[in-house]
C-alpha cells in the first residue's frame, strides 16, 4: 500500500490499536482505514514533531503554529483536540509517557509538561538555550531535554527545581533513555553520539559516524540500540553493567551508495528497519541475520519510519510525500 | 536524486546596525511585485511591521562546533528553523534572514557551509549589509560588529545618502573600501534599490568569481589618485577635502584592525604548494580572516583555479578556461583582522611554480 500525500512526511506511527498514522508538513494528520485514509487539518503550518498519546491511541503532534494537538480515530471517526498552545513558537519536539500519562513538549527554551488525565496540570521549565528534543525516562517521572552543552534532567511534576545537568560541550539535538533508565543517549550537531551513565554522570563518546545521527531506537529489551548516520544501521551493545563503554558497534545492511537516515525497531523484539537517503527501506531480523529489501525503488530521502510492535508491519514516509505500509515478512 | 535536493533555496542574509534601513529594505523585497514567496527569519526581539505570511522568530543562538576549529561557530537556531521550513514543501521560493544590529555575520554565513542538511537544501546567496551614511562613522567608532558586518558583506547598501553632503559621502565610501574592497556599493535613499541588483548574486558561488578588482586599487572618489571611469558621475571632486569625522573614525577602524589586503602575482603558481599554503594559512589565521577570494593561475592547467573562504571554511575548484590572449595572473583578496600583508605576500609568492 503506497500513498502520495504531496507533503513532507514528518512522522509515521503505529498506535496501540495497530492503526497507522502519518503526520505531514502541510499540517495534516492522516489515519489509515480499510478504505484508504482519513485526514484532519491539525495544524495551520507544518507538523514538526509527533509521538503516540499516553493512552496509546492516536498521535500527538507539535506544529510551527505553536499548537499541540491530539488526533485519534474513535468509533470510525477521526477526532482532533487542542492540548496546548504557545503562541508564536514552534513546537520542535513532543514526547509522552504511557506509564505516567504525562506529555512534554519543547517550545523555544521552554520545556512544557501536561497531564493527559488532569487538564489543570501545567509545568514550564526554562533553559538557557533552545531545547531541541525531549524524552521521558522509562517510568515517566523524569524528562530529559537536549540543549546546548548537554542534557538537562527535570522531575516532571515538581514546580520549582534546578535540573540535573549532564554536561558535554556542543549542541545536542536528540535524546533517548535506555529502557532500563540507566543511560541517556544523545545525538549531536556534529557527526557523533554521546551518552551518559545517569547514576554517576560517566560520559560515553561514540564517534566515527560519516553523517549526522538523526534517528535512535532501542530494541531487544534494551540490549541493543540502533542509530542512523552511516552507510548501514549502526548497532551498539547495551548488555552488561557498563553498556556500550569500551565496546565496538556493529554495522548491518552496509551499502556504500547510500546513508541510513531513519531507524525503527521492535522494543521487545529483534526486528530493525532502516530508511535510506535514496528512498529505499529494508528490515532485518537481528537474530537470524535475515535482511528484507522491502522498498527497492529509489526516491526522495526517507523522513519517517515505524515498525509495528510485533515487527510484522512497517510504515515509511519520504521528504516528497511518498508513504506506504509494508509487511516485513519477519 | 530528487528535485528537492538539486534545487537549493537561495538565502539572503540582511545585516546592518539598528536604524540603518534593514527593515525598510526587507519590506521592499517582500512587497514588490515579483511573484516570489519568501520565508523571513527575524530575531525574536526584532523590529515589528514585517508584511509577510511566513515570518519566523529566531533566537540568534551561536554554537561552537566540536571540530577543533575555534572560529567554527554556527547559528543553532537557524539550523533548526531551516530544517523546519523544509517540511513546508513548496511553501516559499527563497529565505531572508534578518539579523539584529549587533550580530556577527560570521556564524550566520558559516551555518550554510558547516551543516550538511542546511547545505543540501539551501544556498547562501549573499550577505547584504545596510549602512547609514550619516551615522556610519560613529558606528564604526563604537562598534566592532559594525566593522565586521561591512567586512563580511558581498554587497553594501549605503543608505540615507540624502542626509549627508557629497564630501561626507566620499569619506564614508572611503571608510567602507578600506574594510571591504570587494563588495559593490549601492547608493540608496530609504533603501530603494532595484531588487534584481541585490538578489540572486551568488556571492559564495565559485562560478561567479569572474574577476577580482578590489576597489582600493582605485582610490575612492575624491581621493588623490582616483582614476575616473564611466561609472563615476562625480567630477566635482575635491582632492583636498578632509573631514574630521573621517579621521576620527579611521583611527577606530584601525583599532578594530579589519581591512582588506589584495595580492597579485604574475608568475604561474604550483597547484599543490598554493593549496597547502592556503590550507595552512586558514588553519593558523582562520579566526582573523573573515573572508577571502582568489583567482589563481596554476602552472600546467588551462583553467582558472578559484576559491572563496569564510574563516577556516575553504572552497576551491577549477573554473573556466583562460581565454586565448587573456593576461594570466593570480590574485587573492583577504579581508581580516591584523593581517600581515608582507607575510601574506611572501607566502603567496613562495608558491611560484
Helices marked H in A276-330: none
Q: Do A48 and B59 touch (CB under 8 A)?
A: no
Distance CA A300, CA B275 (A): 36
Q: Do A109 and B59 touch (CB under 8 A)?
A: yes
Cβ(B125)–Cβ(B14) below 8 Å: no
Q: Percent of chain A beyond pLDDT 90?
A: 92
How many CA atoms, within 13 angstroms, populate the side-chain half-sphere of residue B276? 8
In this prediction, residue A35 has a pLDDT band, given cuts at 50, 70 and 90, of: confident
Contact pairs from chain A to chain B, CB under 8 Å: 82
Question: Which of B201, B215, B217 is closest to B308 using CA atoms?
Answer: B201
Could you say which of B80, B88, B116 has the minimum Cβ distance to residue A212?
B116
Q: Do B76 and A109 touch (CB under 8 A)?
A: no
Residue B84 cell numbers, joined: 523546519
Q: Mutate one of A319, A320, A322, A323 to test the B interface: name it (highest B CB count within 10 A).
A: A319
Cβ(B37)–Cβ(B54) below 8 Å: yes
For residue A46, the chain B residues in CB contact (below 8 A) are 84, 87-88
Q: Do A130 and B61 touch (CB under 8 A)?
A: yes
**Predicted pLDDT at B252:** 52
Cβ(B281)–Cβ(B305) below 8 Å: no
Cβ(B189)–Cβ(B161) below 8 Å: yes
ipTM of this predicted structure: 0.91
Q: Which residue has the cell 583611527?
A: B251
Alpha carbon of A130 to those of A134, A145, A154, B341: distances in Å? 11, 10, 15, 42
Residue B143 distance to chain A (closest CA, Å): 25
Question: Which of A184, A100, A104, A185 is closest to A139 using CA atoms?
Answer: A100
Distance CA B41, CA B39 (A): 7
Q: Do A320 and B86 touch (CB under 8 A)?
A: no
Distance CA B55, CA A128 (A): 23
**Predicted pLDDT at B58:** 84
Helix (H, G, I), strand (E, B) or coil at B238: coil
**Predicted pLDDT at B247:** 42
**Predicted pLDDT at B211:** 77
Domain A212-330 has CATH 3.40.190.290: no
Q: Are strands B9-15 and B122-132 parallel, antiparallel or unpaired?
A: parallel
Mean confidence (pLDDT) of chain A: 96
For residue B64, the chain A residues in CB contact (below 8 A) are 169-170
Bridge partners (DSSP) listed for residue A271: A285
Q: Are strands A110-115 and A102-107 parallel, antiparallel or unpaired?
A: antiparallel
Chain B segment 256-295 residues within 8 A of A by beta carbon are none
Could you say which of B66, B77, B115 has the minimum Cβ distance to residue A130?
B77
Residue B112 distance to chain A (closest CA, Å): 14
Alpha carbon of B120 to those of A60, A277, B83: distances in Å? 29, 12, 11
Distance CA B106, CA B119 (A): 16
**Structure confidence by residue, pLDDT tens digits, A90-135:** 999 999 999 999 999 999 999 999 999 999 999 999 999 999 999 9
Mean pLDDT of A273-287: 97
Could you say which of B65, B66, B117 has the minimum Cβ distance to residue A212?
B117
For residue A188, the chain B residues in CB contact (below 8 A) are 66
Sheet with A77-85: strands ordered across:
A47-52, A59-63, A67-74, A77-85
Residue by residue, pLDDT tens for chain B (353 residues) are 344 445 899 999 999 998 899 989 999 999 888 888 999 998 865 556 777 778 888 888 999 887 767 678 999 999 999 999 999 877 899 999 999 888 889 999 999 999 999 999 999 999 999 999 999 998 888 888 899 999 999 999 999 999 999 999 999 999 999 999 999 999 999 999 999 889 988 888 888 887 777 765 554 444 444 444 333 333 333 333 333 344 444 455 555 689 999 999 999 999 999 999 999 999 999 889 999 999 999 999 999 999 999 999 999 999 999 999 889 999 999 999 999 999 999 999 999 99
The set of residues, in sequence order, having a beta carbon less than 8 Å from that of B77 and lying 6+ positions away, is A130, B58, B59, B60, B61
Q: Does A278 touch chain B (CB under 8 A)?
A: yes
Q: Do B76 and A6 touch (CB under 8 A)?
A: no
Q: Mutate one of B6, B9, B85, B89 to test the A interface: name it (highest A CB count within 10 A).
A: B89
Phi, psi of A19 (to 5 degrees): -80, 135
Q: Does B86 touch chain A (CB under 8 A)?
A: yes
Residue A265 cell numbers, joined: 525497531
Amino acid at each position: 500500500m503506497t500513498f502520495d500525500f504531496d507533503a513532507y512526511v514528518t512522522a509515521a506511527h503505529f498506535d496501540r490499536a495497530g492503526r497507522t498514522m502519518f503526520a505531514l508538513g502541510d499540517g495534516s494528520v492522516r489515519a489509515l482505514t480499510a478504505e484508504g485514509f482519513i485526514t484532519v487539518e491539525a495544524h495551520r503550518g507544518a507538523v514538526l514533531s509527533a509521538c503516540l498519546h499516553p493512552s496509546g491511541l492516536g498521535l500527538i503532534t507539535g506544529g510551527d503554529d505553536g499548537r499541540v494537538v491530539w488526533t485519534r480515530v474513535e468509533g470510525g471517526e477521526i477526532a482532533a483536540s487542542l492540548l496546548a498552545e504557545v503562541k508564536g513558537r514552534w513546537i520542535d519536539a513532543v514526547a509522552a509517557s504511557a506509564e505516567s500519562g504525562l506529555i512534554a513538549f519543547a517550545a523555544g527554551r521552554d520545556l512544557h509538561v501536561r497531564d493527559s488525565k488532569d487538564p489543570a496540570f501545567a509545568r514550564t521549565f526554562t533553559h538557557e538555550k533552545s531545547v531541541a528534543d525531549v524524552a521521558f525516562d522509562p517510568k515517566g517521572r523524569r524528562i530529559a531535554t537536549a540543549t546546548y552543552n548537554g542534557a538537562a534532567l527535570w522531575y516532571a511534576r515538581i514546580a520549582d527545581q534546578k535540573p540535573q545537568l549532564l554536561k558535554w560541550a556542543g549542541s545536542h539535538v536528540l535524546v533517548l533513555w535506555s529502557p532500563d533508565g540507566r543511560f541517556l543517549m544523545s545525538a549531536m550537531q556534529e557527526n557523533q553520539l554521546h551518552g551518559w551513565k545517569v547514576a554517576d554522570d560517566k560520559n560515553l563518546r561514540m564517534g566515527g559516524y560519516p553523517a549526522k545521527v538523526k534517528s535512535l531506537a532501542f530494541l531487544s529489551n534494551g540490549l541493543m540500540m540502533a542509530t542512523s548516520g552511516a552507510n548501514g544501521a549502526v548497532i551498539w551493545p547495551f548488555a552488561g553493567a557498563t553498556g556500550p563503554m569500551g565496546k565496538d558497534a556493529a554495522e548491518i545492511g552496509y551499502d556504500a551508495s547510500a546513508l541510513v537516515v531513519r531507524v525503527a525497531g521492535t522494543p521487545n523484539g529483534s526486528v530493525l528497519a532502516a530508511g535510506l537517503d535514496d528512498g529505499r527501506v529494508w528490515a532485518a531480523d537481528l537474530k537470524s541475520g535475515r535482511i528484507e529489501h522491502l522498498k527497492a525503488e529509489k526516491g526522495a530521502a526517507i523522513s519517517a519510519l515505524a515498525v509495528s510492535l510485533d515487527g510484522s508491519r512497517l510504515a515509511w514516509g519520504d521528504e516528497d510525500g511518498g508513504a506506504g505500509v509494508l509487511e516485513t515478512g519477519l | 536524486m530528487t528535485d528537492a535536493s538539486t534545487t537549493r533555496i537561495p538565502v539572503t542574509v540582511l545585516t546592518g546596525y539598528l536604524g540603518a534601513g534593514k527593515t525598510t529594505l526587507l519590506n521592499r523585497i517582500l512587497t514588490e511585485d515579483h511573484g516570489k514567496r519568501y520565508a523571513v527569519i527575524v530575531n525574536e526581539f526584532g523590529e515589528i511591521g514585517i508584511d509577510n505570511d511566513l515570518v519566523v522568530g529566531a533566537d540568534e543562538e551561536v554554537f561552537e562546533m566540536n571540530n577543533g576549529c575555534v572560529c567554527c561557530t554556527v547559528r543553532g537556531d537557524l539550523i533548526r528553523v531551516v530544517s523546519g521550513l523544509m517540511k513546508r514543501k513548496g511553501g516559499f521560493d527563497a529565505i531572508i534572514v534578518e539579523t539584529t544590529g549587533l550580530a556577527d555575520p560570521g556564524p550566520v554565513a558559516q551555518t550554510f557551509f558547516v551543516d550538511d542538511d542546511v547545505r543540501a537544501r539551501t544556498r547562501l546567496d549573499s550577505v547584504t549589509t545596510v549602512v547609514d551614511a550619516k551615522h556610519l562613522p560613529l558606528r564604526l567608532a563604537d562598534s566592532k560588529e559594525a566593522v565586521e558586518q561591512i567586512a563580511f558583506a558581498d554587497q553594501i547598501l549605503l543608505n540615507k545618502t540624502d542626509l549627508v553632503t557629497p564630501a561626507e559621502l566620499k569619506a564614508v565610501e572611503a571608510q567602507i573600501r578600506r574594510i571591504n574592497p570587494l563588495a559593490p556599493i549601492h547608493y540608496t535613499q530609504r533603501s530603494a534599490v532595484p531588487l534584481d541588483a541585490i538578489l540572486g548574486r551568488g556571492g559564495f558561488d565559485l562560478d561567479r568569481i569572474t574577476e577580482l578588482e578590489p576597489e582600493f586599487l582605485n582610490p575612492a572618489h575624491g581621493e588623490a589618485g582616483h582614476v575616473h571611469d564611466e561609472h563615476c558621475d562625480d567630477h566635482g571632486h575635491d582632492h583636498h577635502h578632509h573631514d574630521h569625522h573621517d579621521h576620527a573614525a579611521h583611527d577606530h577602524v584601525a583599532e578594530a584592525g579589519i581591512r582588506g589586503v589584495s595580492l597579485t602575482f604574475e608568475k604561474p603558481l604550483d597547484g599543490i604548494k598554493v593549496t597547502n599554503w592556503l590550507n595552512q594559512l586558514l588553519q593558523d589565521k582562520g579566526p582573523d580572516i573573515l573572508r577571502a577570494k582568489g583567482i589563481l593561475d596554476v602552472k600546467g592547467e588551462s583553467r582558472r583555479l578559484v576559491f572563496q573562504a569564510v574563516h577556516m571554511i575553504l572552497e576551491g575548484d577549477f573554473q573556466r578556461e583562460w581565454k586565448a590572449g587573456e593576461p594570466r595572473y593570480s590574485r587573492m583578496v583577504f579581508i581580516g583582522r591584523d593581517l600581515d600583508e608582507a607575510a601574506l605576500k611572501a607566502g603567496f609568492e613562495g608558491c611560484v611554480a
